[in-house]
Structure 1
Amino acid sequence: MNLSTFPDISIVPILAQHAEALAELVGNNLEHLQPFLPAVVQLACVDDARAYLCAAAARAASGDILEWHIFSGTALCGSIRLKEIDTADHKASIGYYVGRQFQGRGIASAAVGAVLAHAFGALHLHRIELQCAAGNYASMALAGRLGFAHEGVLRQAEWLNGVFVDLHVYGLLQPDFVPDAAALSVA
């Protein structure tokens, strides 16, 4: 996937060859990622990043997840994933992150929008769910910008950094999605 409104941004399927770049991105963003994505922090080691990428590629081959890396030029700046893909009910969940140094430039919104267009188009999904922990205001704002409806709060639904936290649940239906036609081209 390419984002033509961001000519230096691309979304590519994850590859084991991205392990060093992934470990570097995570290592440079430990404090940024730890509050909401402590599992991602474990990928700061190249060997752990490579093992994760190989396992995720195998899960992608089985259709369990689809995961991409977001690049700005040659720099890895984040990751985005469709998970819990349910083809019978035409739904999935989405998750993502970008490094602190790449925030505030619209990259996450553009990348999530591109994957949504792919999910609702080529994958024929009808519903995408986004969950984020209470206090993750950046993800809450992104959900609002992209047209997700706030559907509720799952009380103490996630064990995060040693405490239970509430999860905000957002949903987006295919008929409610307004794609940016200029932002995505699928190869």
Structure 2
Amino acid sequence: MPEHAEVLAGLVAYNREHLQTYLPAVLQLDSFGEAQAYLEAAVARAASGEVLEWHVFSGTALCGSIRLKDIDTADRNARIGYYLGQQFQGRGIASAAVRAVLAHAFGALQLHRIELQCAAANHASMALAERLGFTHEGVLRQAECLNGAFVDLHVYGLLQPDFVPDGAALPV
């Protein structure tokens, strides 16, 4: 993954305004050196089982990233987060990529619960969570400081028995 440093820096630089809204911490990756250091650290975190991160491609174009973090093997749960460059949104790429990571989490990793949190104004992430079968579990009031302002976070959870890997609708 460190070999993606140049394209990652380019993706972040191109999407600065878009990422600033909900993921300002990602903006530091807009230079080759910062992206390379981040990716080298990501390899170390993956080796320790702390965080698993994947890059999302459409053809040869890097679209974004997905990661499982706060992985708790004893309680068999984790949190999922992702971002996609604005130019790649609306094509089903995020849904397909998150579904693939969920299949890995519930399959090979044998996790039981995945949590997704997103800012209250992030309607695209809320819609994605609902499309993938996550249950809205509540709101954490003013739980994150984004760009100097505290925002509410919506919390969604998905349990392994409720996961539909191929995207087919559940029977009613």
Give the TM-score category using the shorter length: over 0.9
* 3-state SS of 1:35 partner: helix
For the pair 1:142 / 2:128, whether they are aligned, the reply is: yes
How far is 1:181 from its partner? 8.0
Separation in structure 2 between the aligned mates of residue 179 and residue 74 of structure 1, nearest angstrom: 25
Gaps of at least 5 residues in structure 2 are: none
Separation in structure 2 between the aligned mates of residue 97 and residue 117 of structure 1, nearest angstrom: 18
Separation in structure 1 between the aligned mates of residue 109 and residue 161 of structure 2, nearest angstrom: 15
* 3-state SS of 1:51 partner: helix
For the pair 1:164 / 2:131, whether they are aligned, the reply is: no
How far is 1:134 from its partner? 1.1
Residue equivalent to 1:80? 66
Residue equivalent to 1:7? none
Equivalences, count: 168
Separation in structure 2 between the aligned mates of residue 44 and residue 71 of structure 1, nearest angstrom: 18
**Which of 139, 152, 160 is the equivalent residue of 1:174?**
160
* 3-state SS of 1:157 partner: strand
Residue equivalent to 1:12? none
**Which of 103, 107, 111 is the equivalent residue of 2:89?**
103
Residue equivalent to 1:11? none
How far is 1:91 from its partner? 0.2
Q: How do 1:106-117 and structure 2 match up within 5 A?
A: 106-117=92-103
Separation in structure 1 between the aligned mates of residue 62 and residue 87 of structure 2, nearest angstrom: 11
Amino acid at match of 2:44: A
Separation in structure 1 between the aligned mates of residue 43 and residue 148 of structure 2, nearest angstrom: 30
Gaps of at least 5 residues in structure 1 are: 1-14, 183-187
Runs of 4+ in 1 over 2 A off after TM superposition: none
Separation in structure 2 between the aligned mates of residue 137 and residue 43 of structure 1, nearest angstrom: 25
Identity %: 78
TM-score, normalised with respect to structure 2: 0.96
Amino acid at match of 1:92: A
Residue equivalent to 1:16? 2
Q: How do 1:31-50 and structure 2 match up within 5 A?
A: 31-50=17-36
Separation in structure 1 between the aligned mates of residue 17 and residue 31 of structure 2, nearest angstrom: 15
Amino acid at match of 1:93: R
TM-score, normalised with respect to structure 1: 0.88
How far is 1:72 from its partner? 1.0
Residue equivalent to 1:66? 52
- The two structures, once aligned, show a CA RMSD in angstroms of 1.1
How far is 1:100 from its partner? 0.7
How far is 1:140 from its partner? 0.2
Which structure exhibits the higher relative contact order, with contacts defined as CA atoms closer than 8 Å and separated by 6 or more residues?
1
Separation in structure 2 between the aligned mates of residue 177 and residue 143 of structure 1, nearest angstrom: 12
